[in-house]
Structure 1
Amino acid sequence: MNIIDAAHKTVHAYPGGSESLAPRIGMSAAVLRNKVNPNNTTHHLTLAEANEIMGVTGDDRMLHELAAQHGYVLSRIDHAAPDASVMGAMLVSSAKQGAFFQELQAALSDGLITENEMGRLAETGTDHMASMVTLLNVLRRVTGKHGVGA
């Protein structure tokens, strides 16, 4: 898939398609259809429009395709609750790390990592990375601007 196909699929996967989505982003259904039509060379989706579409639909496949085309992988980071503790965030991160290594052990058990196993490894690995970012955010919050003593 590419970014144009992702935009097309995002719009057409929305309940009611372009007819339903277009009014929510302030354009006509015909213009929206043209902007996401892979065969149309006269109308183009702007970054602001793509952002708005992702916000309304909750479908981030355009963002993921753009990242993939540039060699990146994205993972949603859940922001820690205002009252999240450092210990709680550390335990979640440790559990996510354990899940990754369990998947890795299972995948390596027969000496061959299949496509499905690689997908599960990628998912559990990115979950662990996201939990580390959450832990860092909790640490930033509790230490404030000046940090704390050791």
Structure 2
Amino acid sequence: MNILDTAHAVAHNYPGGCESLAPRIGMSAAVLRSKVNPNTDTHKLTLQEAVRITDVTGDEAILEAWAQERGLALVRMPAAEHCSDSAVLELMAKTWETNGEIGKEVNRTFEDGVVESHEVTRVKDRIWEHIRTLFGLHSRIEGMVEGKR
């Protein structure tokens, strides 16, 4: 999903939609709807507004879409106090799960012998999820380095 479609989805998926989100970021619902509409050329969402939307909604999808468009993956950095053996084990299980999701999606893609663009997108999405999980695992282990606490 591209960044404009993502901004549209984040605003409209917020509980109460644009009508509820707009006053929290300091604009009218009509203006917000126009700014997040990828087909509107008259209003554009600014970077500061995208940051406010992310902060208010708690939804990092806009940031993730931008990172993905740039070939980057976001990783939540764990706080040292949340690093434990069980947390690492949990993340290891998650990496196995996300790796399996890639395999499932690849199998679905080749089932009919035809590879379609939306199928490639789904495979890419599963790969990005796996990459984020792997980097999260690395960060978690890094947070456990002796003397760092």
TM-score range, shorter chain: 0.5 to 0.7
Give the aligned partner of residue 49 of structure 1. 49
Contact residue 84 and residue 138 of structure 1 kept, 8 A: yes
Correspondence 1:5 to 2:24: no
Indicate how the Cα distance of structure 1 residues 57 and 90 shifts in structure 2: closer, same or farther if over 3 A, else same.
Answer: closer
Q: Deviations over 1:5-56 (max 9, x none)?
A: 2111111111221111011111111221221122322322111211111122
Give, in whole Å, the separation in 2 of the partners of 1:15 and 1:135. Answer: 36
Question: What TM-score comes out, normalization by structure 1 length?
Answer: 0.67
Partners of 1:23 and 1:101 lie apart in 2 by: 37
Hey, what's the Cα distance between the residues in 2 that align with 1:21 and 1:92? 34
Q: Name the structure 1 match of 2:115.
A: none
2:83 aligned with 1:79, yes or no?
A: no
Larger Rg: 1
Cα RMSD of the aligned pairs, angstroms, is 3.4
Q: How do residues 65-104 of structure 1 correspond to structure 2 at under 5 angstroms?
A: 65-74=65-74, 76-77=75-76, 79-80=78-79, 82=81, 84-85=83-84, 87-88=85-86, 91-92=89-90, 94-96=92-94, 99=96, 103=100
CA contact (8 A) 1:100 1:128 kept: no
Aligned to 1:133: 139
Point out 4+ residue stretches in structure 1 off by more than 6 angstroms.
none
SS at match of 2:15: coil
> Which ranges of structure 1 fall in alignment gaps of 5 or more residues?
146-150
- Gaps of at least 5 residues in structure 2 are 110-118
- Write the mapping of 1:107-146 to structure 2, written as runs, cut at 5 A: 107=103, 113-115=107-109, 118=123, 123-139=129-145, 142-144=146-148
Aligned length in residues? 136
Query: Which whole-Å CA distance do the structure 2 matches of 1:62 and 1:5 have between them?
Result: 9
Residue type of the alignment partner of 1:34: S
Per-residue deviation, 1:57: 1.6
Report what 1:31 is aligned to. 31
- After superposing the two structures, state which structure 1 stretch, 19-28 or 88-97, moved more: 88-97
In structure 2, do the counterparts of structure 1 residues 102 and 83 end up closer, same or farther at CA, with 3 Å as the change threshold? closer
Q: What TM-score do you get using the length of structure 2 for normalisation?
A: 0.68
- The structure-2 alpha-carbon separation of the partners of 1:73 and 1:137, relative to structure 1 and needing over 3 Å to count, comes to same
Residues 79 and 134 of structure 1 are in contact (CA less than 8 Å); yes or no, is this contact kept in structure 2? yes
CA contact (8 A) 1:8 1:37 kept: yes
